[in-house]
Amino acid sequence: MSNFIPRTVLSASILFFHAVPTWAHHSWAPYDLNSEVTLEGQIVEYKWGNPHTYIQLQTTNADGSKGLLWEIEASSAMAMHNRGWAPDTVAPGDRVTIVANPSRNSNQTTALGGRLALGNRLVTSKNVELEMRKVNSGAPVIVVPKQGSKSLAGQWRTTANPEASRHFFFFEPKDWPLTEAGVRAYAAFKNSDNPGMNCVPYAPPFLMVVGDAKAITLGKDEIIIRTELERAQRVIHMNETSHDGVEPSVLGHSIGRWEGDVLLVDTARFAKHGIGNAQKLPSGPDKRLTERFQLSADGTRIFYSFELTDPTYLAAPVSYKFEWVYSPDFEMVELPCDQESAKRYLKLQ
């Protein structure tokens, strides 16, 4: 088991911490967040991956006999990395104590008959306490560098915007102006409506507000934005002027143009998506996204903003602003989505 070693960071006067959680396609609804269990035992499996990390814990009874087997869910590998975890933070055979929130449905078990819980924190045999839903010491914090980028090209990390994150990941109808169809769709949402079960990525702008790293490559005809969490690759066409005739897709069809040194992007032709606008809020065929990417004067940040319209589900446009910090030395965690892991979680609800 490895200890946390602080990553070398660029010197800066301002630090941005991701204090809010980062999720994959799912919420914490299946778990009782008002109830905690303290579990002591031996790790049987530590599965580091996307969209969720899992720990199988074989508990031990007071008399030394085997107790219940528990499956402890944690966030995606990307989110866990941002909190200071690594693929070798713990390992099978380690004796640990885990404080967790149990599943609301106590009758629902794993394939091996174990109980289910959401990890909160873990204490090692050496009494080292590791947070599972908060940032740990030594985590790769977002640091504003002294030397910025000369263009939008490079690697960037999205800074926390707690209100926006809650609106997207824990969406409630009061957050945005909804049409009657939007209210009905939210109320009728089922897990089978979530494309994440089949490892389908988020659609923009949801994809763009996730607290992950994003790499931008500038080209004359195309600009590529690669995201860390979903391993998605957005293509912005700089030599096109119309969306006509383009087949709908999850990421939509993006057309870009420069207005001075500001990149403006118009995206349409989105495929229908069960959480295309926010958690439990789908997107319709006429969804449209207008984005603005502006480099700060010192090149250390991108000011990212957008306006989202979707006449099927939104009664008025929705807009937000974010900052992305230049992070050329950050190590992106780009793991493919594990479909078994995705389905395992969604069957809980």
Q: Of 312, 73, 290, which is closest to residue 183 (Cα–Cα)?
A: 312
Domains of the chain, each with CATH number or no CATH? 15-139 (2.40.50.140), 144-326 (2.40.128.20)
Contact 5, 88 (CB under 8 A): no
Predicted pLDDT of residue 270 = 98
Predicted pLDDT of residue 6 = 33
β-bridge mates for residue 302, sequence order = 295, 324
Q: Output phi, psi for 269, to 5 deg.
A: 60, 50
Predicted pLDDT of residue 20 = 41
Predicted pLDDT of residue 26 = 55
Q: Tokens 């693929």 label which residue? A: 87
Q: Output phi, psi for 26, to 5 deg.
A: -135, 165
The Cα 288–Cα 282 span in angstroms is 13
| Residue 306 pLDDT greater than 80, yes or no | yes
Percent of the chain with pLDDT over 70: 89
| Phi-psi map region of 83: left, alpha, beta (phi>0 left; psi -120 to 50 alpha) | alpha
Q: Output phi, psi for 77, to 5 deg.
A: -55, -40
Report which of residues 105 and 144 the model is more confident about: 144
Contact 213, 327 (CB under 8 A): yes
Predicted pLDDT of residue 97 = 98
* Cβ-based neighbours of 215, under 8 Å, separated by 6 or more: 154, 155, 156, 225, 226, 332
Predicted pLDDT of residue 112 = 63
**DSSP code string of 148-164:** --SSS-EEEEEPP-HHH
Any idea what DSSP says for residue 178? Answer: B
Mean of all residue pLDDT scores within the chain? 89
How many C-beta neighbours within 10 Å does residue 126 have?
7
Structure tokens belonging to residue 329: 């030395």
How many C-beta neighbours within 10 Å does residue 64 have?
7
Helix%, strand%, coil% for the chain, nearest 5: 10, 40, 50
Structure tokens belonging to residue 118: 């959401």
Cα-based angle 122, 127, 131 (whole degrees, multiple of 5): 30
Predicted pLDDT of residue 29 = 72
Cβ contacts of 315-318, under 8 Å, gap ≥ 24: 315/177, 315/178, 315/179, 315/182, 316/177, 318/176, 318/177
Report which of residues 112 and 186 the model is more confident about: 186
Percent of the chain with pLDDT over 90: 72
